[in-house]
Amino acid sequence: MRLGDFKVLTFDCYGTLIDWESGIIEALKPLCTRLHKPPARDAILTAHARHESAQQEQTPSMRYRDLLAIVHKRLAEEWGVPVPWEECVAYGRSIGDWPAFADSAPALAYLKKFYKLVILSNVDNESFALSNKRLAVDFDAVYTAQDIGSYKPSPRNFGYMLDKLKTLRVKRSQILHTAESLFHDHAPANKMRLASCWIHRRHAEQGFGATIKPHKRPKFDFRFTSMAEMVAAHRAEGG
């Protein structure tokens, strides 16, 4: 199997193209600085993943920025720190401040020459629009949790994407789903019989960071540690 076998790259955004872990840590600083002994970075991310995943199951149609406000409230309660609701809302609106990985924009600009580029993300449309400015590319389609009414890893999200891609005359066999999260993306991609590419951003770190550990390790067809490495592999195939 070669990267050149595909015509469409469907992307997760946060954790793959946008450095959401750095964004989360930075946006939680006002809360964490009130703690007598703030948790380590990975402990913060693990707690965030636990509350986020639980809230996504409870309120699948809630906009992501509003859901993040509740996650902030749950973290504050867990850590015993009273916070005003306005601070929770501000955290939910911090998505637009989350940085892109340095290689994301140039990699997308290169890949756009060879593929249709599509987003499948657990986000709301307004927040993604802010992140898209950092990615500096026009995606051929954008499918968000707000559009679908559920969050990955629900198969509904992938089913919605596949149905809509049919209207763009895209076949399942032409799609390579490209993502960091084994839990949110690669496990459901396996169930939907989609080829997948793991952008293993956390290759030098322990644990799963801001994502949930999957029950079992899903399969993937390609693995790269960055978008730049994926581009290099494509060039090595002959571009």
130-184 pLDDT, tens per residue?
999 999 999 999 999 999 999 999 999 999 999 999 999 999 999 999 999 999 9
**Within 13 A of 115's CA, how many CA atoms are on the CB side?**
28
CATH 3.90.230.10 fits 3-20+99-236, yes or no: no
Q: How many CB atoms lie within 10 A of CB 36?
A: 7
Could you check whether 3-20+99-236 and 21-97 share the same CATH topology? no
Q: Active-site positions?
A: 12
Length of the chain: 239
pTM for the whole structure:
0.95
Domain boundaries in the chain?
3-20+99-236, 21-97
Fold classified for 21-97: DNA polymerase; domain 1 (1.10.150)
Residue-level pLDDT at 76: 98
Average pLDDT of the chain to the nearest whole number: 97
Residue 203: CB partners within 8 Å, gap ≥ 6?
225
Q: What DSSP assignment string belongs to 136-187? A: T---SEEEEHHHHTS-TTSHHHHHHHHHHHHTTT--GGGEEEEES-IIIIIH
Closest by CA to 81, choosing from 50, 46, 39, is 39
